[in-house]
Structure 1
């Protein structure tokens, strides 16, 4: 009976674990849709900013020159939570490549992270992390984190000579895991920016410096915001895949436990019947 009770407890515990996995799976599926929509929205806004750059180049034609050598910041976006497969490892690997590339070009590289997991992975690789930002748990929290990152970028640009900024993040794509390192700064003149789809050429009476400042601020914001929501969508997609595998394994384990329970119960019943038969034979024989 003790063995039967132990198997019964295992089945109950495994069933509770299955409920947790199903809940996490459902939450991940819902979160993916939210972050996908946010990424789509920021992508549409990015198109508007791109048109703004076209107006800028038609009126100014040049970008303010920055120093060729200086501090390069690499921001690696990962997760604060586990159970998302190779998500953080992919970000770590691409961030290491970006750091090595910039260091080889003569830059002093400073590494920032968004997420404790990727921070730990980078530090295990021997890369010191100067700043770490928390990963927002919802869309409401994204703006706060983006503002924090922007404030630090502004300080490093104005006071410490930072002129290179690269973001490393996972992308939510349909054909599997993908990670990208995008060089946000320095700005480069857009190829094909002289083309304009409309019949009238773009013109503006906004001073060139003001136009540049406004576009630059919005460009920086959507670059960081877009990278974070893309990463969050990818994180939840990785977690959904991990939970699907876990759910399958748990269901198979439950089936094994239930089979063991039936076998153990049948063995106990058979043993009890044999004891009864033996007792009857002893009484009759006596």
Structure 2
């Protein structure tokens, strides 16, 4: 009876795993579509920056070394997960981010997106100064990016942060992922020169109307917004890809367990049937012996 219960419990668990697989696969799709949808907008922002940076009068709003020549604090935003069942998703990313930051001199300020990545970073000796909740849908990403920008600008406006990095897991082919690092700030002269060389899609070049410096700063903010949004969406797609892979492994393990339990159940059932047949045969033989030697009677 215990084996029956175990087989039934494994079947129930498999149903849960299948539901989680379907949810993860659906989530991957929505986050991947959001990344693709960003492509045209991101290109439009780059074209706007290219127009502003083609003239010498518009300087890149740059975050560089401090006025006294000393290195300022390095900031980092690390996207992880709040939930489990994602395999080595957080461990691999934490190791990658800590190694990358250790190569950068000076003090560090790290913001973690996700309780689990925050704990991994703290265990590695990099305690986050702030933490954010991982979005549960595409619609919630915009709010998170706004919070990150406010937090980073609160330190950056005071000249505290000189460099800002993004670390997240990015999707690869299939259901795999890999850790990715990106330097978001400073927006240096080389970055501006690369944008200024972008070809304009038509033969007529546009002009900036109004305050060119103000327009440039607005476009830079949009550039940062889209970069962080893209990192977050890719991280969420990778998280669900990792969860999908974990659920696929779990489903296989459950199938193997059910097969072993079913085999054991069949052996026990067959043994029970054999014992019952043996008892029937033994009883029949005893009965046959009793009727084949009747007692003798004298006349």
Q: Which range moves more in the overlay, 142-151 or 188-197?
A: 188-197
**Residue 196 of structure 1, aligned match among 193, 199, 223:** 199
Q: Which residue in 1 is equivalent to 2:19? A: 23
Q: Is the 8 A contact 1:57 1:194 kept in 2?
A: no
Deviations 1:194-245 (A, max 9, x none): 3423212232123122112211221121111111001001111111111112
Q: Which residue in 2 is equivalent to 1:179? A: 179
Q: Which residue in 2 is equivalent to 1:7? A: 3
Q: Which residue in 2 is equivalent to 1:149? A: 148
- Superposed, 1:243-254 pairs within 5 Å as 243-254=247-258
Deviations 1:247-282 (A, max 9, x none): 122112211111111111011111112122223333
C-alpha distance in 1 between matches for 2:138 and 2:246: 23
Q: Is the 8 A contact 1:79 1:135 kept in 2?
A: yes
Q: Is the 8 A contact 2:77 2:165 kept in 1?
A: yes
TM-score by length of 2: 0.88
Q: Which range moves more in the overlay, 65-74 or 226-235?
A: 65-74
Q: Which residue in 1 is equivalent to 2:76? A: 74
Q: Which residue in 2 is equivalent to 1:115? A: 114
- Superposed, 1:1-286 pairs within 5 Å as 5-59=1-55, 60-68=57-65, 69-103=71-105, 107-159=106-158, 161-174=160-173, 176-188=176-188, 189-191=192-194, 193-197=196-200, 198-286=202-290
Alignment coverage as a number of residue pairs: 279
C-alpha distance in 2 between matches for 1:190 and 1:80: 39
C-alpha distance in 1 between matches for 2:250 and 2:35: 28
Bigger-Rg structure (1/2): 2
The DSSP-based 3-state class of the residue aligned with 1:159 is coil
Q: Which range moves more in the overlay, 88-97 or 24-33?
A: 88-97
Q: Is the 8 A contact 2:62 2:186 kept in 1?
A: no
The DSSP-based 3-state class of the residue aligned with 2:104 is helix
Q: Is the 8 A contact 2:165 2:182 kept in 1?
A: yes
Q: Is the 8 A contact 2:73 2:162 kept in 1?
A: yes
Q: Which range moves more in the overlay, 58-67 or 219-228?
A: 58-67
C-alpha distance in 2 between matches for 1:267 and 1:55: 83
Q: Is the 8 A contact 1:54 1:193 kept in 2?
A: yes
Q: Which range moves more in the overlay, 44-53 or 64-73?
A: 64-73
Q: Which range moves more in the overlay, 273-282 or 136-145?
A: 273-282
The DSSP-based 3-state class of the residue aligned with 2:164 is strand
Gaps of 5+ in 1: none
Cα-Cα RMSD: 1.7
C-alpha distance in 1 between matches for 2:62 and 2:237: 36
Q: Which range moves more in the overlay, 230-239 or 184-193?
A: 184-193
